[in-house]
Amino acid sequence: MAQAPSMDYAGSVSSGQKHLGCFRVHTSSRLQCTGYDKKSRTNQLVVRAISVDHPQLDFSNPNWKKQFQEDFGKRFSLPHLRDVIDVEPRPTTFSLKSRTPLENLNGSVQESWNGYVNDDDRVLLKVIKFASPTSAGADCIDPDCSWVEQWVHRAGPRKQIYFEPQYVKAGIVTCGGLCPGLNDVIRQIVVTLEKYGVKNIVGIQHGFRGFFEHHLSEVPLSRHVVQNINLAGGSFLGVSRGGANISDIVDSIQARRLDMLFVLGGNGTHAGANAIHEECRKRKLQVSIVCVPKTIDNDILLMDKTFGFDTAVEAAQRAINSAYIEAHSAFHGIGLVKLMGRSSGFITMHASLSSGQVDICLIPEVPFILDGPNGVLRHLEHLIETKGFALVCVAEGAGQEYLQKSNATDASGNMVLGDIGVHLQQKCVPMHLMPSCAPYWVRMLYMAPLQVSVASQQGCATHTTCTYRYQKSSSPQDLLIQTAGCGIGA
C-alpha cells in the first residue's frame, strides 16, 4: 500500500452534536476535518473546515466573525504613499470620456461622467452561501459553514492621482521565467502611462540583474517602440532569476531617479519586490512599487484568470493530442504527459477536460494512491484490458510524496521537485503492468512539454486578458488594484 500524504494532528472542533477531528495536510493550505456524530461516533465525511491562516480563531467567541473580517481586511489592505509621505492628490490626467458627447434620454448632453471608481469601493470575494460542509465545493471557515462577508478593493481608474505625469520616470522589469503575455502587459503599461502624459518610460533588462549589471543599459520605451511586441513570444526586456542585494537595488532606483517601478513576476519576484517596497518606505522615498502577478498556473488569489494561462492550456493540448495518437496507434500503448503546475493543477485539469481524451488526470491538490485495488496502476490495467490503450496527464507537482525529497532550491528559492513523470514511466508502470498483462506488451510514451507552453506566443484569450486589464487603469494605484491586491505601494 502506498503511503498517504503526511499529516499533523491539529486538534478538534465541536459544534452542537457534530465533532470534527482536524488534520493539516502539508500539500494543502487548509485543514481537512473528519466529521462524526457524537452519538454514533461513526465517520461520515471529510470537509475543509478551518483556514490555517487563522488558527487563533475561537468559534465559541460570539465575535469571531468580526475578528476574522478585521484580520482579513488587514491582510488585503493596500499600502499607499500617503502612509509615509505627506503628498497631496491632484486631478487625474486620464480621461474616460468618449470623443462623441454622451446624451441623456431627453437628448441633452451629459455634463458629468461617472466612470471613476471610489477609493472606498469594495468587491465581495465569495458570493455563494454554503448551507453545509457537505455541499459540493464547500469552502467553510467554521464547522457550521457560517456566512462571513469578505471584501476586497475594487479595481478601476480614480479621480485623483499622486504624481505629476510630466515629471515622472517609470521603469518596467520582467523577472523569473517566461510566460505568454509578458509583451502584452509591457505594451499596455506603456500605452496607459502615455495616456496620462508620462513620457519618460524605461525598461530594465533581464530582471533585477539589470539594476547591477553595468553593461545592461536602460531601454527607452514608447508607444512606437512597443507597438508590435505583443506579436512575439518571450519578453521584450528579457528575464532572469535571482538578483542583487535589496539595498543595492534601491540604491540603483535612486540613482536612476525612478518614481515608479512595475515588476512582472511570480512568487519569488513578488517577495523581492515587497522587500524593495519596505526598503523604500524605510528611506521614505516617493517611489511606487507596482507588482503584476505573472504565472501560467492560474493560482493567484482574487484573480479569475492570470495572463498566459489560456495559451499554456492550448500548448498543452497539442502535446496531449500527440500522445493520444501515439498511444491509440500502439499495441497496448500508454501515453503519459507531464505539464507545468508546481502546487496547482489548473493547466493539467483544463487541458485534460478540453481534450476529452485523457483517462487519468493527476494534480497536486488531490492526493492519490498508486498501488492497491483502488490505485492508479490498477485502473491503468483495467483501461488496457478494456480499451486497449490509456492516456495519463500529470502535473509536475503531483505525487511528490512518492519521490525522494531534496533540499535543493532553484535561483528563485523554490524547492526543486522530483520528476513524477519519470517515476511513473520508469518505475511504477512497467514493474506493475508487465507481469499482469503478460503475454501482452505495454508501450510507454512519456512527453514533458514544460517549456513549450511558457515560451509560446500568446493566444487570443491572453491578448484580450492583458489588453482589457491594463488599458482602463488611471494611475499606478489603479494598476496596483487591477492586479487584485498583488501590487505593492501606490
Catalytic residues, by residue number, are 297
Write out the DSSP string of 333-396: EEEEEEE--SS--HHHHHHHHHHS--SEEE-TTS---SSSTTSHHHHHHHHHHHTS-EEEEEET
**Alpha-carbon distances of 24 from 20, 29, 56, 405, rounded to whole Å:** 13, 8, 15, 19
CA 302 vs CA 80, 99, 255, 305: distances in Å = 20, 34, 35, 9
Q: Where are the alpha helices (DSSP H) in 215-363?
A: 223-226, 246-256, 267-283, 309-329, 346-355
Tell me phi and psi for residue 382, to 5 degrees. -60, -40
- C-alpha pair distances (Å), 343 with each of 50, 98, 254, 487: 20, 44, 37, 22
247: β partners: none
What is the rounded CA–CA span in Å between residue 63 and residue 70? 11
Nearest alpha carbon to residue 54 among 140, 128, 153: 140
Q: Which amino acid, one-letter code, is at 288?
A: S
The Cα-based distances of 423 to 132, 405, 446 in angstroms read: 39, 13, 11
- What does residue 92 show for φ and ψ, rounded to 5 degrees? -65, 145
Grid coordinates given for 430 = 512497467
Report the C-alpha gap between 375 and 64 in whole angstroms. Answer: 41
Pairing of strands 390-395, 333-339: parallel
Grid cell of 80 as nine digits: 499607499
82: helix, strand or coil: helix
For residues 261 and 12, what is the distance between their CA atoms, to the nearest angstrom? 46
- Separation of alpha carbons 453 and 429, rounded Å: 26
CA torsion angle 35 37 41 42 (round to 10): -60
Nearest to 485 by CA among 172, 78, 69, 162: 78
At 14, list the grid cell.
465541536
Partnered with residue 66 across adjacent β-strands are none
| CA distance linking residue 182 with residue 237, whole number of Å | 9
- Looking at residue 143, what DSSP letter applies? T
